[in-house]
Structure 1
């Protein structure tokens, strides 16, 4: 399979580039790495000054880092369906953990991303958390030709910190080898070290840093508790939000005030940082397998997270908001013929990956796709791009993220607007400022017009 990237610039270093022709660029395989609940606390994205992610940073240097990438849904289930279907939640009716992909009436005739590659004759290999239930169920699961483990990580018999099991954290187990994520990384690396008879489409879905934040002690030791830096979270941050209960009413667990009063904030941030570094280690294991084998020179690598994560910002924890901490995620695309060490600040969505890969590998793209191919931005990071990224919380509640602005409109009509050139933390809501009317109108143009009813079960984490 040939990858054609017209007008592509190929790196001759990290700062000097020379042109090449499309005919010189080829790849036959795809490796996707999905990480659960990873926000912008990655070295190359600068989300936290102390985070250590050497493998993610090296991967970013090998390819194109999208610094303004956003999810289309605000938590695991619907976000992953959107990625794998290339469609918005409002078009599929998938706003929660149910319906599953194989049960959604709107998706019965719509192949998931790996299904397009399976139909084209690729070996499809997957393991860990890809859809919310893993590899999927029913006919969706049947499209895999090679499957690995579910990457389920162990938890201690006795909870360390929190009375709610999913929110426990602490140093456990003793070694990486006991972690399902690392076992998945090893299985994936073994696959990548082998010569495959057919082109392959492979996905490894890692579960950390999703809660419970249990990883071996050596990862906690990277971040001594006394020196952990907390995110900035002004106590009055929600004063200019029209209805704070709308923004944060879903899944208010744990409560920020309770965490602060019990003196657990630093401990939780430490556990999240430790879990990120562990996940980064798993990514490194996979990439070493690729580099050690015969497939490195003809494999495109794509890394993404299914949504971000609050750690006290806006008095909120976890996800399920329309603010930057939930929607912004790492997105890296690297491979043969792609520029290296490039940063693209255009607003893009994970929904754009499906059409991108269809174009890259000359596969027929389903007519219902709602994303846009990223190929122009992979060729030139500053290429014209007139489309914002859109995120849906529930029917008629959406965020529109352009290069410099975030606009939010909730189902009750209330709005928020943030100027990221002056307010990257989204502390000042400008929606009531008459001077911002033009920006609000421009953003409102992109609000989804299709908002199927929500019949989902939002469930637990």
Structure 2
């Protein structure tokens, strides 16, 4: 019997050791968090816990969301796929209704031996099932109704408020609604009273985020470590309303708060790039009057702007403290030595710049989002300045955990950056945002942002020039506040053409469901004078006949040049049989047709092929 028990013990220990070969993952989401963090260079922000984490981890300084709104952003981050592949562009679409077989990060880690646990706001609840995406979790999702609050406190009113003055006003409106026989009492109250901020002298645990932190601490205290865990904790602030205990408001001197320095539309900026800050306007009290100016932008008085900025920073410091408590519990349990910590905000937030409030744009303040990764096996501070994006997180975590990276993800692994082996990743990050039936795609490099606005674009289909309704180009070296759209300026013509070419490369990669590569592919074939001359002659003929644009002409010439160059190599290869040469030529023809369909319609490709054949016959007869 003793021998049997000893054997069981050995097997148990071996199983635990094997499990711990894989690192745990602490996956922390922070709603609406922009880089108002000391580690990101914000000297006004008071975020000691995140700064400490960053000092031993990796800070991605130029990281961007796929779409600056909660549902689509989180769907993309958690699946490693862009919005045009998830098909989630709004706050109504259920991710698995349009993509039943889509794979998520926690789901994949669960399939690879992890215990996955979800708490707080990870997915946007409007974009997944009522179980907060059941396939993702090993145990039922931990809902708000299980949260515990300090003695004397209960669940915040309307989900947010604890200040006694606000509570009395809410109770008064609820009684009024009851007396009128209103069915949806909470909506009645919200339509009349929903303050955009609150200061309350209450303990951290009185608000939901303090309760979330306490639940996270409880989970770590009782964590079964016989298998690796993936613990996802989602905080709700600094999303509106900016509610936080008074002590976090007291960290900041309101007299030192600076307003956004540029509060109007960019010079030459297209109207489609802007909005009236509708989300902000939904937070109201009798004392607040919102005014939209003649350009359709929200104008707030100085006092309210200061209070909102103060509230955003206070809420951020409040979340910083909650994250610190969770990390401290991780250390107390001795789990920090084998736990990767990831902290991310789902998108940025406008605090008055461009006269915008909320997110919902393709400007820097909306797309730029924090991404911090700490790996105890590396344990050194690294700052990555080159562009990264949230679709990169799925392959990155897989590689860090020693799990095979799934196929057909849109991102690339950032493991080399995390190891400090190189400080580059991809050439640009891509964000997008819809305005009705229009879609803006924004390409952010280290120094520039190019945004392309397109009609009727909610798919991976190629674009046509006549679908383009507006372009934007911003130079962050000389204009960090995006005060002037450089499109149309002669000195930026080369930069514009570069981005137009890269936009074609991007849409090509999406059509083929490929990740963006670390650099633009170069043609490795040697130059062939015959191929160059033929491509130039035939392209010129087709352009004249079809009246193609400059972008289309360049794309066609490059495609035909590649075709003729490869065909010349095949034709001149003496080691190939005639049959092999025919097979190779057919393959090149098929590949060329596929490439042309990226830029042209099927009808146009058919016309191009006919004109190409006609011109080839003419050239051959002359020879």
Q: TM-score range by the shorter chain?
A: 0.7 to 0.9
CA offsets 1:279-322 (integer angstroms, 9 cap, x no match): 11111111111111121101111110000000100110010000
Q: 1:154 maps to what in 2?
A: 160
2:388–2:426 contact (8 Å) kept in structure 1: no
Q: 2:607 maps to what in 1?
A: none
TM value normalised by structure 2:
0.63
Q: 2:448 maps to what in 1?
A: 405
Q: Pick the aligned partner of 2:483 from 412, 427, 443.
A: 427
Q: 1:415 maps to what in 2?
A: 471
**Residue 43 in 1 paired to residue 72 in 2?**
no
Structure 1 pair 363/165, CA: closer, same or farther in 2 (3 Å)?
A: farther
Looking at structure 2, the residues matched to 165 and 445 of structure 1 have their Cα atoms a distance apart, in angstroms, of 50
Q: 2:104 maps to what in 1?
A: 112
TM value normalised by structure 1:
0.84
Q: Pick the aligned partner of 1:29 from 18, 24, 28.
A: 24
Q: Pick the aligned partner of 2:341 from 301, 309, 322.
A: 301
Looking at structure 1, the residues matched to 100 and 194 of structure 2 have their Cα atoms a distance apart, in angstroms, of 32
Structure 1, gaps ≥5 residues long: 1-24, 452-461
Question: After the TM superposition, which residues 43-442 of structure 1 pair with which residues of structure 2 at under 5 Å, given as runs?
Answer: 43-47=38-42, 49-103=43-97, 105=98, 107-133=99-125, 136-137=128-129, 140-146=133-139, 147-150=141-144, 153-155=159-161, 156-157=166-167, 158=169, 168-172=196-200, 174-193=202-221, 194-235=223-264, 237-243=265-271, 245-248=272-275, 251=278, 253-254=280-281, 260-261=300-301, 263-380=303-420, 382-394=422-434, 396-411=439-454, 412-442=468-498
CA offsets 1:28-82 (integer angstroms, 9 cap, x no match): 21111110001121111124x3211111111111201010000001110100000
2:22–2:402 contact (8 Å) kept in structure 1: no
Structure 1 pair 296/252, CA: closer, same or farther in 2 (3 Å)?
A: closer
SS in 2 for 1:248: coil
SS in 2 for 1:102: helix
Greater percentage in helix: 2
Looking at structure 1, the residues matched to 368 and 202 of structure 2 have their Cα atoms a distance apart, in angstroms, of 32
SS in 2 for 1:414: strand
Structure 2, gaps ≥5 residues long: 1-19, 148-155, 171-189, 282-289, 293-297, 455-467, 512-623
Looking at structure 2, the residues matched to 279 and 206 of structure 1 have their Cα atoms a distance apart, in angstroms, of 7
1:27–1:336 contact (8 Å) kept in structure 2: no
SS in 2 for 1:218: helix
How much has 1:222 moved relative to structure 2? 1.4
Q: Which one is further off, 108-117 or 259-268? A: 259-268
CA offsets 1:224-281 (integer angstroms, 9 cap, x no match): 333322222244x4332132x4432573743676653373111111111111111111
Looking at structure 2, the residues matched to 232 and 199 of structure 1 have their Cα atoms a distance apart, in angstroms, of 47
Size of the alignment, in residue pairs? Answer: 420
2:72–2:91 contact (8 Å) kept in structure 1: yes
SS in 2 for 1:372: coil
Structure 1 pair 134/51, CA: closer, same or farther in 2 (3 Å)?
A: farther
CA root-mean-square deviation:
2.5
1:173–1:179 contact (8 Å) kept in structure 2: no
Structure 1 pair 129/445, CA: closer, same or farther in 2 (3 Å)?
A: farther
Looking at structure 2, the residues matched to 375 and 321 of structure 1 have their Cα atoms a distance apart, in angstroms, of 29
Looking at structure 1, the residues matched to 233 and 96 of structure 2 have their Cα atoms a distance apart, in angstroms, of 20
SS in 1 for 2:469: coil
1:181–1:282 contact (8 Å) kept in structure 2: yes
Q: Which one is further off, 214-223 or 53-62? A: 214-223
Looking at structure 2, the residues matched to 113 and 265 of structure 1 have their Cα atoms a distance apart, in angstroms, of 38
